[in-house]
């Protein structure tokens, strides 16, 4: 069966510090990978998605970037965090063919202070 791991689960970072959230998927190959953000009172917002190694699409302009160095690894980064980057970040995956069900990780709570 497939599993998705995301870490760290929670972190508190000062404004201007860097960020790295990591996500790995096991039990499948060539998955589509996603980063979402969930803010209080708002729906899930797609930040980035990737259909293969080194292929990243960004949905919204922002202070964040994503990378996919390996087939089942997805990383969300920032060089300098802003207060507005606080939120609940979710990594997700789906089977390689577009249009399939998206499965989510446990999420990472980021508080920028």
Q: Taking contact as CB under 8 A, which single stretch among the options 14-22, 62-70, 71-79, 100-108 is the one that binds other proteins?
A: 100-108
To the nearest whole angstrom, how small is the minimum distance from the Cβ of residue 44 to other proteins?
Answer: 4
Identify residues 13-52 at the interface with other proteins (CB under 8 A): 41-44, 46, 51
> Does 7 sit near other proteins (CB under 8 A)?
no
With contact defined as beta carbons under 8 Å apart, do 44 and 35 qualify?
no
Helix/strand/coil (H, E, C) string of 60-101?
CCCCCEEEEEECCEEEEEECCCCHHHCEEEEEEEECCCCCCC
Q: Which is nearer to other proteins, 80 or 111 (CB)?
A: 111
CA 48 to chain centre: 7
To the nearest whole angstrom, how small is the minimum distance from the Cβ of residue 79 to other proteins?
Answer: 26
Helix (H, G, I), strand (E, B) or coil at 53: coil
> Does 103 sit near other proteins (CB under 8 A)?
yes
> Does 98 sit near other proteins (CB under 8 A)?
yes
Strands 108-112 and 10-13: parallel
Tell me which residues touch other proteins (CB under 8 A). Answer: 6, 41-44, 46, 51, 90, 92, 98-99, 101-107, 109
């Amino acid at each position: 069966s497939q599993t998705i791991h995301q870490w760290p689960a929670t972190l508190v970072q000062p404004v201007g510090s860097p960020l790295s959230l990591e996500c790995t998927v096991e039990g499948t190959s060539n998955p589509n990978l996603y980063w979402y953000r969930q803010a209080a009172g708002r729906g899930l917002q797609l930040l980035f998605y990737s259909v293969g190694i080194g292929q990243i699409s960004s949905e919204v302009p922002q202070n964040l970037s994503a990378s996919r160095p390996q087939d089942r690894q997805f990383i969300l980064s920032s060089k300098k965090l802003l207060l507005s980057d606080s939120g609940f970040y979710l990594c997700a995956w789906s089977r390689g063919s577009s249009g399939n069900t998206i499965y989510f990780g446990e999420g990472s709570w980021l508080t920028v202070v």
